[in-house]
Amino acid sequence: MAVMDTVVQTADGAVDGKRGRGGRRGTISWRGIPFAEPPVGQYRWRAPRPVAPWPGVRECYDYGPAPVQEKLFTARGAGRFQPRSEDCLTLNVFAPSTVSVTPRPVMVFNYGGAYILGGTSTPIYDGSYLARARDVIVVTVNYRFGPFGFLDFSDYSTDDRRFDTNPGLRDMVAGLEWVKRNIASFGGDPDRVTVFGESAGGSAVLTLLSTPAAEGLFAGAISQSPAPDLVVSKENARLFADEFVRLLMDPTRRRGPERDEPPLDPAVVARVLAGASAKELLRTGNKLIGFTRGARLTDPIPFAPVIDGEYLPQHPLEAARDGNTMSVPTIIGNNKDEGELFARFWDILPDSEQALVGLGDTDDHDLLQSLYPVKRRDVLIAADATFWTPTIRFAGHHSAHAPTYVYRFDYAPLLLRASGIGATHATELLAVFGTYRDPIGVGLAAAGSWGSTKRITATMQSKWSWFARTGRPAPDWPRYSRDDRRVMVLDDPTRIELDPHGDRRAAWDRVHLGEPG
């Protein structure tokens, strides 16, 4: 079979990649390809602009800078951290090193991180293993997040200084547009693109399904452990933007916006935002998170796609309910022990009492609590309120107008089972990307789970890639609907369950959500 050249001509210029070594043999990766101009200076909080073509051959041998965030979150190994920059709009392509007779399916990944951290250089997102094992093209895309990607200053736009809504979401769309234009040059099929993501990246998939500008850019969607309510209302977006600018002007500020505060002058806003360094913007964003938690607003995180009525017309759950999500096949699901990661390592979920806010009747409150075991009840309720319940609602609505496949990921290596962490948030990524044999995951595999990690990796990669290839994950995986709630339990081995925890689902629908899921 012919071997693919490492130099590929894109619409913007030629790029040179690297052949894989060690466990990545049989692949080529092109890392750090710019898909938009740097969003710096006057282009902060603007939609991504087309990249300027370059002469000659661009060496794309390593990842581009990570988006601006705390250094800790950019670790690539012991003592190694990825540089951070506002100039972060790059993507990476991973492909088998052989030339295929027919175009390969394409899988485009959006990382998670609660829209406040992340980046494609995170080792778990290396697409080489998946590309080689399943003969697909994998693309990973950097997008802006935090205050750089998801603050809405559009109300302060003037003729001299424009601000666009949803820069981070627009980055994701621009990445998909780049794939549509260029992926054929890498041996990929532009008509067989699947967008997938985990956590905030999974939420982003649901948002992309609800974004008119993304229409026609992908043929399938996979949403892993989404928090479907992770969006911001226009009303709260105005409040967040106002408070952010005031915090930037007065770092000692200790109170939130009050009714008697005069409105901000757009000219002042433009000047303050232009004069701030990336470090100052990041530091102010961290303060804004604290303000949001203290204010107990309906949107608990200030950084997420904004329902602006134009670029993002509706909340994804409402779009699915109204039949306005794209009618493309979709896989969606959660992990069995979703909340354990947050309970032990990252306390950002609401507590169980916050999760149950809105119940109109004490009996309803007590009923819902009675359906959970006493042990770890608070963790289970918080995780279900954030992840599982809205996910099942979205699946039920979306299934009315597009093939929908629901899963629960139950597999956990022996070490995670023994620790009580189990199949927690993000652990399925090790199987999807095949990194149980990489230094990031080999310790879990070697501790008594060598054979089972190999099998769960084959299971996940087979179903995800077959879905990318055909629009259906497996012959034995039935479609989900509100009339037939069959769920694929991804474990070693797999099995089908009918409406798992249906009593909890029905209780959440009845006493909290007020509509069927």
**φ and ψ at residue 201, rounded to 5 degrees:** -65, -35
Q: Check whether the bond before 313 is cis (ω within 30° of 0).
A: no
CA 342 to chain centre: 17
Instruction: Output the furthest CA–CA distance in the chain (Å, rounded).
Output: 72
> Is 338 a catalytic site residue?
yes
* Residue with the two structure tokens 């998939």: 205
Q: Are 385 and 355 in contact (CB under 8 A)?
A: yes
Which is the catalytic residue, given 29, 121, 128, 199?
Answer: 199
Q: Are 350 and 389 in contact (CB under 8 A)?
A: no
3-state secondary structure of 197: strand
- The residues near 86 (Cβ < 8 Å, ≥ 6 apart) are 38, 39, 40, 44, 67, 68, 148, 278
- Taking CB atoms within 8 Å and a gap of at least 24, the contacts of 45-51 are 45/148, 45/151, 45/153, 45/163, 45/164, 45/167, 45/273, 46/162, 46/163, 46/164, 46/167, 47/164, 47/167, 47/170, 47/174, 48/89, 48/167, 48/170, 48/171, 48/174, 51/12
Q: Which residues on adjacent β-strands are paired with residue 81?
A: 75
* Residue with the two structure tokens 């778990």: 124
Cα–Cα dist 243/172, whole Å:
27
Cα–Cα dist 94/102, whole Å:
17
Which is the catalytic residue, given 198, 338, 340, 428?
Answer: 338
Which is the catalytic residue, given 425, 452, 465, 501?
Answer: 425
> Is 85 a catalytic site residue?
no
Q: How many CA atoms lie within 13 A of 220 on its CB side?
A: 26
The residues annotated with a catalytic role in the active site are: 199, 338, 425
